[in-house]
Amino acid sequence: MAVLQPSQDFGSLAHKVWPWSMTRGVLAVIFGILGFAVLLPLGSMRSFALLIGIFAILDGIANGVEATRRRGAPLILRGVAGLVGVVFGVLAMIMTGMSMTGLIWVTAIWAFVIGGLDVVSNLIERSSGHRDWMFGLIMGAVAVVFAVLAVIMMPAMTPLIWLAAIATILWGVAGMIMGGSERSASRS
C-alpha cells in the first residue's frame, strides 16, 4: 500500500486555511459546552434556537472565509455550506417562536446539508495526498448522523439538547484535529 505524500501546494494551502479549521472546531466545542451549561438547565426552545443560530452564523462565516482560501470544487461546496449556515442561523434567531417540530426539522435540514457538503468536499480533496480530508469527512458524518437522529427523536427537547451538544463537541474536536494537522503540514 503506497503512502500518499502531500504536495507542495498543500503546504501553502494549509498555511492559509488551518486557522479557520481550528476556529470552526473551537467554536463548536464552546457551543457544545454551552449546550450542556445553558440549554439543559433552561430547556427552552428559544434558548436552543438562539444558541444554534449564533453558532450557525459564526460557523458559516468561518466556513466561508476558509472557502475563499481554497481552490477548485471544494471551494464552491464550502462556500455554499457557509452561506447555508449563515442563512439558517439568521432564520433560527428570527423565528424563535416556531414550533418544536419546525425547529427540529429546520435544524436537521441544516445539519444534513452542511454535513453532506462537508462529506462531498472532503471526498474530493482526498486525492490531494494529505490526511486532513478524513477529519473533514468525520465532521460531515457527525452532522448527518445528528440530523437523522434529531428527526428520529422528535419532539423530545432534552434528548435533542444532549444529542446536539455531544455532536457539536465531537464535530469541534474533529475540526481542531484537522486544523492542527493542517498547521503541521503548513510548516513542512
Tell me the percentage of the chain whose pLDDT exceeds 90.
17
Q: What is the dihedral of CA 155, 159, 39, 107, to 10 degrees?
A: -50
Residue 7 lies in a domain: no
Residue 122 lies in a domain: yes
Stretch among 35-44, 94-103, 123-132, 160-169 having the lowest mean pLDDT: 35-44
Q: pLDDT grade, residue 87 (50/70/90)? A: very high
Q: Is the pLDDT of residue 47 over 70?
A: yes
Q: Is the pLDDT of residue 90 over 90?
A: yes
* Global pTM value: 0.76
pLDDT reported for residue 6: 46
Residue 152 lies in a domain: yes
Q: Is the pLDDT of residue 129 over 70?
A: no
Contact 163, 155 (CB under 8 A): no
Q: Is the pLDDT of residue 143 over 80?
A: yes
Distances (CA, A) of 35 to 15, 24, 115: 32, 16, 20
Instruction: Look at the chain and report how many structural domains it folds into.
Output: 1
pLDDT reported for residue 125: 79
Residue 86 lies in a domain: yes
CATH assignment at residue 109: 1.25.40
Residue 92 lies in a domain: yes
Residue span of the structural domain in which 88 resides = 12-181
d(CA 146, CA 62): 21
Tell me the percentage of the chain whose pLDDT exceeds 70.
84
Distances (CA, A) of 157 to 60, 68, 105: 25, 36, 13
